[in-house]
C-alpha cells in the first residue's frame, strides 16, 4: 500500500474532504439502520395483519418521490432509483422473514 493511499502524505485539503466523506458514510449507515428498524416494524405489522410483504403501488410512489428529490438535489435520479431498489429488495426480504416467523 502506498503512503498516498493511507493518507500519510496527502494534502490537508484532501484529508479534510476524506474526513467529511467518512462522517457522511457513518451517517448513511446509521440512517439506513434506523430505516430498517422502521421497516422491520412494518413487516411485523403486515405479518400480523396478513398483508403482502411487497406493496408495488407504494414502491412506485416512493421511486417517483425519490427521483424528484434526487433531481432537486443534483443527484442522478437513475442512481437514486437503483439505490432505492436495493433498499426495497432488502425490506421485502425482511418482510418475508417476518411473515414466515408469524406463520411458524
Q: What is the CATH number of the domain that holds 40?
A: 1.20.59.10
Give the 3-state secondary structure of residue 55.
coil
Q: Could you tell me the pTM of the whole model?
A: 0.80
Residue length of the chain: 104
For CA atoms 79, 58, 44, 103, the dihedral sign is negative
Asked if residue 78 has pLDDT above 80, the reply is yes
Domain that holds residue 50: 3-103
Q: Give me the number of domains the chain comprises.
A: 1
For residue range 36-77, list pLDDT tens digits in order: 999 999 999 999 999 999 999 999 999 999 999 999 999 999
The Cβ of residue 46 has, within 10 Å, a number of other Cβ atoms equal to 19
Q: How far apart are CA 93 and CA 36, in angstroms?
A: 11
Residue 102: pLDDT band by 50, 70, 90 thresholds?
A: confident
> DSSP code of 53?
S
Question: According to the model, what pLDDT value does residue 3 have?
Answer: 45
Amino acid at each position: 500500500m502506498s503512503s498516498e493511499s493511507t493518507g500519510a502524505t496527502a494534502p490537508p485539503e484532501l484529508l479534510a474532504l476524506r474526513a467529511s466523506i467518512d462522517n457522511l458514510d457513518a451517517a448513511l449507515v446509521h440512517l439506513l439502520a434506523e430505516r430498517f428498524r422502521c421497516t422491520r416494524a412494518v413487516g411485523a405489522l403486515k405479518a400480523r395483519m396478513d398483508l403482502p410483504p411487497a406493496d408495488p403501488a407504494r414502491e412506485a410512489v416512493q421511486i417517483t418521490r425519490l427521483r424528484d428529490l434526487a433531481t432537486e438535489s443534483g443527484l442522478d435520479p437513475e442512481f437514486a432509483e437503483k439505490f432505492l431498489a436495493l433498499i426495497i429488495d432488502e425490506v421485502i426480504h425482511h418482510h418475508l422473514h417476518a411473515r414466515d416467523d408469524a406463520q411458524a
